């Protein structure tokens, strides 16, 4: 039976010779990782359930969210992890190391055909070397540390064939922003994507990492590149294990195949709020910026640093503009020092921080304030993700050129005299709502509740539970912050009633791997969430936490009103509006989902 690349990787790590889309299988995990914000919760789960570590050699912490240790709660969580690591003999890549997914490649823990899980929702970066990487919540990671395996539903695969020649002014970041323009945030939701074509063969490791890193923003499970000769040589040099690269069979079945003309790709910018809201850079050229950020797991690589240095050399950042540069790993940082790039950055007026995730994780440099306009090379610009201001996304080259100009521009159009500010930027104040709810643990197969409509698509995890609260580990404290970053629903926690059922749109829970975006609903006593579709990681987290999530594509809002009582049969998928008598058909719980639900959670 012919298999796609992902199917082959999963099959070689399971008890099956062949796997098929839709099957739920246990897969062996080669590298099992927890970061600093999720690590403390992983430790808590292991201790609460009396679980041991399957293989310390395959288990590690990476402190990349707050490598400065500048936040007290992060510092506490990091130390909890350090103490646990000492007890268990687990590796810690501490605050001096950099981004965990990049370290896995640099240090040879991941290689073509390998598997890895992390509390990082961008673990699918590992598709850059033809490996399987997946971001998961702290329950999943605790289970992986204990068993060495996790359950996984084999996804359907999609093939993208790049045709034509990539224009010289189009970077790898522009490639993925063009893909987001084509596919949006959810048209490839839950798929594994494989990329082929003559132009793909020449993409460097750094290019592949940039493209793979934004699979999450496309709603995909992973973007996989078949390993090239140069990738195999790199991984062979760094790998701690011998490996045989895997490739898709020629007659493998793909659910969809897209032929994409890359010759028409252009430099792109994502407008604030949604990574997939991409436009040609010319459409936003001239937009004044307050700050610029270069780094993240998407664009903090050595090639990025060199290109940025070539633009900044003998130039100065525009007056009043703050430029922040954060290399992805300490190895890259030291190479920048060796090549004289740090001096170029500093002479240009940039702030250079130690390696890590930076602004994306709200734990280091890169945050912005109310009213601030930032141009970033990161992968996310959700409202509130990188602070209270607005964030545009672009390539490092465009960010560097714009920092010099003081407004959005391209490297070939940098002015002799930069733009200057004429008016100050005001700041606002946000009040927090505090309310505690009791958590229900009753597990019926038929549930009833009052409808609470949240009529939006692509509600991301920062809208559900903002990253400034990620250090919270007590579920009872989480509910008060639910949706306080979702426009129009900031007072949701104040109005929510125990037993409510949320009905929402497509791609609910897209974004990061944070478990808190599930647990906050349990804290409020929300009985279930019904959506047209869910983000892949969010779906796992909800199932594992025994929060009923129901996928229903047939709901007719005209037959339902806010406040109506609905009855849901989890086994059959039938949804009945007790007020109108109308019934709807949803996807029933799988056997695995129902078992986890009945047990009260994955680790119960």
Residues 6+ apart with CB under 8 A from 424: none
Residue 436 has pLDDT above 50, yes or no: no
* Short-list 500, 493, 558, CA closest to 529: 500
The model's pLDDT over 482-538, given as tens digits with 9 standing for 90+, comes to: 999 999 999 999 999 999 999 999 999 999 999 999 999 999 999 999 999 999 999
pLDDT at residue 437 in the model: 37
- Measure Cα distances from 347 to 375, 429, 572 in Å: 20, 35, 65
- Measure Cα distances from 585 to 22, 431, 501, 509, 556 in Å: 20, 41, 16, 22, 11
pLDDT at residue 471 in the model: 79
Helix (H) or strand (E) holding 153: strand 149-153
pLDDT at residue 435 in the model: 34
Window from 186-200, 287-301, 460-474 with minimum mean pLDDT: 460-474
Q: Decide if 420 contacts 316 (C-beta within 8 A).
A: no
Q: Other CB atoms closer than 10 Å to residue 398's CB: what's the count? A: 27
Residues 6+ apart with CB under 8 A from 442: none
Measured CA angle at 385 (ends 173, 426), to 5 deg: 110
Q: What is the mean pLDDT of residues 438-459?
A: 81
pLDDT at residue 252 in the model: 96
Window from 105-109, 405-409, 429-433, 472-476 with minimum mean pLDDT: 429-433
Q: In what order do the strands lie in the sheet with 574-577?
A: 549-551, 528-531, 501-504, 446-454, 565-569, 574-577, 583-585
Q: Decide if 339 contacts 306 (C-beta within 8 A).
A: yes
Can you name the CATH fold of 446-599?
Aconitase; domain 4 (3.20.19)
Window from 416-425, 463-472, 534-543 with minimum mean pLDDT: 416-425
pLDDT at residue 166 in the model: 96
Q: Other CB atoms closer than 10 Å to residue 424's CB: what's the count? A: 7
Q: How confident is the model at residue 344 (pLDDT cuts 50, 70, 90)?
A: very high
CA atoms within 13 A on the CB side of 74: 23
Q: How confident is the model at residue 425 (pLDDT cuts 50, 70, 90)?
A: low
Task: Look up residue 37 and give its two tokens.
Answer: 């914000």
Residues 6+ apart with CB under 8 A from 41: 138, 473, 515
Residue 441 has pLDDT above 60, yes or no: no
Angular region, 98: left φ>0, alpha ψ -120 to 50, beta rest: left
Residue 574 has pLDDT above 70, yes or no: yes
Q: What's the farthest any 2 CA atoms get from each other in the chain?
A: 72
Helix (H) or strand (E) holding 32: strand 31-35
Q: Could you write out the DSSP letters of every residue in 77-138?
A: HHHHHHHHHHHHT-EEE-TTTB-HHHHHHHTTS--TT-EEEES-TTGGGGGGGT-EEEE--H
Can you name the CATH fold of 268-413?
Aconitase; domain 3 (3.30.499)
Q: What is the mean pLDDT of residues 565-572?
A: 94
Q: How confident is the model at residue 434 (pLDDT cuts 50, 70, 90)?
A: very low
Q: How confident is the model at residue 171 (pLDDT cuts 50, 70, 90)?
A: very high
Q: Other CB atoms closer than 10 Å to residue 454's CB: what's the count? A: 20
Q: Decide if 406 contacts 288 (C-beta within 8 A).
A: yes
Q: What is the mean pLDDT of residues 131-136?
A: 96
pLDDT at residue 468 in the model: 81
Q: How confident is the model at residue 424 (pLDDT cuts 50, 70, 90)?
A: low
Percent of the chain with pLDDT over 90: 80
Q: How confident is the model at residue 397 (pLDDT cuts 50, 70, 90)?
A: very high
- Measure Cα distances from 422 to 88, 319, 426 in Å: 57, 11, 13
Q: Decide if 58 contacts 148 (C-beta within 8 A).
A: yes
Q: Could you write out the DSSP letters of every residue in 249-308?
A: -TT---SEEEEEEGGG---EEEPTT-TT-EEEHHHHTT-B-SEEEE-HHHH-SHHHHHHH
Q: How confident is the model at residue 366 (pLDDT cuts 50, 70, 90)?
A: low
Residue 122 has pLDDT above 50, yes or no: yes
This prediction's pTM: 0.83
Distance, in Å, from the CA atom of 377 to the CA atom of 15, rounded to the nearest integer, reads: 41
SS3 content of the chain, % helix, strand, coil (to 5): 35, 20, 45
- Name the DSSP letter for residue 481: G
Helix (H, G, I), strand (E, B) or coil at 172: helix
| Average confidence score pLDDT of the chain | 91
Q: Other CB atoms closer than 10 Å to residue 449's CB: what's the count? A: 22
Q: What is the mean pLDDT of residues 581-602?
A: 92
pLDDT at residue 48 in the model: 94
pLDDT at residue 530 in the model: 96
Q: Please, which residues bridge with residue 59 across strands?
A: 32
pLDDT at residue 285 in the model: 95
Per domain, the residue ranges of the chain are 5-264, 268-413, 446-599
Q: Give 474 or 248, the one with higher predicted confidence.
A: 248
Q: Do domains 5-264 and 268-413 have the same CATH topology?
A: yes
Q: What is the mean pLDDT of residues 430-447?
A: 54
* Short-list 230, 223, 173, 240, CA closest to 205: 230
Q: How confident is the model at residue 174 (pLDDT cuts 50, 70, 90)?
A: very high
Domain 5-264, architecture per CATH: 2-Layer Sandwich (3.30)
């Amino acid at each position: 039976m012919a298999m796609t690349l992902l199917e082959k990787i999963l099959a070689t790590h399971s008890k099956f010779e062949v796997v098929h889309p839709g099957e739920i299988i246990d897969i062996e995990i080669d590298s099992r990782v927890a970061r600093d914000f999720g690590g403390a919760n992983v430790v808590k789960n292991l201790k609460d359930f009396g679980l041991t570590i399957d293989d310390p050699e395959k288990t590690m912490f990476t402190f990349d969210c707050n490598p400065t240790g500048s936040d007290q709660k992060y510092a506490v969580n990091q130390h909890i992890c350090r103490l646990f690591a000492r007890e268990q003999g687990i590796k810690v890549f501490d605050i001096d190391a950099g981004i965990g997914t990049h370290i896995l490649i640099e240090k040879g823990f991941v290689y073509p055909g390998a598997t890895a899980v992390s509390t990082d929702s961008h673990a699918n970066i590992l598709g850059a070397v033809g490996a399987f990487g997946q971001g998961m919540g702290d329950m999943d990671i605790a289970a992986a540390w204990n068993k060495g395996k996790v359950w996984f539903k084999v996804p359907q695969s999609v093939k993208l064939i790049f045709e034509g020649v990539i224009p010289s002014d189009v970077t790898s970041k522009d490639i993925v922003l063009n893909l987001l323009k084509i596919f949006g945030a959810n048209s490839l939701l839950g798929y594994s994507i494989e990329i082929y074509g003559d132009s793909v063969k020449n993409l460097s490791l750094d290019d592949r990492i940039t493209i793979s890193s934004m699979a999450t923003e496309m709603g995909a499970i992973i973007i996989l590149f078949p390993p090239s000769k140069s990738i195999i040589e790199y991984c062979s040099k760094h790998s701690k294990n011998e490996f045989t690269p895997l490739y898709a069979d020629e007659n493998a079945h793909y659910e969809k195949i897209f032929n994409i003309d890359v010759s028409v790709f252009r430099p792109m910018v994502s407008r604030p709020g949604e990574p997939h809201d991409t436009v040609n850079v010319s459409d936003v050229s001239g937009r004044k910026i307050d700050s610029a950020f270069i780094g993240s797991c998407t664009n903090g690589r050595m090639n990025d640093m060199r290109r940025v240095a070539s633009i900044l050399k003998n130039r100065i950042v525009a007056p009043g503009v703050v430029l922040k540069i954060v290399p992805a790993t300490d190895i890259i940082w030291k190479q920048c020092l060796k090549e004289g790039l740090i001096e170029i950055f500093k002479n240009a007026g940039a702030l250079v921080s130690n390696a890590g995730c930076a602004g994306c994780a709200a734990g280091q440099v890169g945050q912005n304030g109310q009213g601030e306009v930032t141009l970033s090379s990161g992968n996310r610009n959700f409202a509130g993700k990188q602070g209270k201001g607005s964030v545009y996304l672009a390539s490092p080259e465009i960010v560097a050129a714009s920092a010099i100009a003081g407004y959005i521009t391209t490297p070939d159009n940098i002015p002799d005299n930069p733009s200057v500010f004429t008016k100050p930027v005001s700041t606002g104040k946000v009040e927090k709502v505090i309310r505690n709810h009791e958590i229900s643990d009753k597990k019926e197969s038929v549930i009833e509740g009052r409808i609470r409509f949240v009529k939006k698509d692509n509600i991301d995890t920062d809208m559900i539970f903002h990253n400034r609260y990620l250090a919270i580990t007590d579920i009872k404290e989480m509910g008060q912050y639910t949706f306080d970053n979702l426009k129009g629903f900031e007072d949701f926690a104040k109005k929510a009633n125990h037993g409510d059922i949320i009905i929402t749109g497509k791609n609910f829970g897209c974004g990061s791997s944070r478990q808190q975006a599930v647990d906050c609903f349990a804290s409020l006593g929300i009985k279930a969430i019904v959506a047209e579709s869910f983000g892949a990681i969010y779906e796992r987290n909800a199932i594992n936490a025994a929060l009923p999530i129901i996928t229903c594509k047939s709901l007719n809002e005209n037959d339902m009103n806010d406040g109506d009582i609905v009855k849901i049969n989890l086994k059959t998928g039938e949804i009945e509006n007790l007020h109108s008598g109308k019934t709807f058909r949803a996807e029933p719980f799988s056997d695995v989902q129902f078992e986890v639900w009945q047990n009260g959670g994955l680790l119960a």
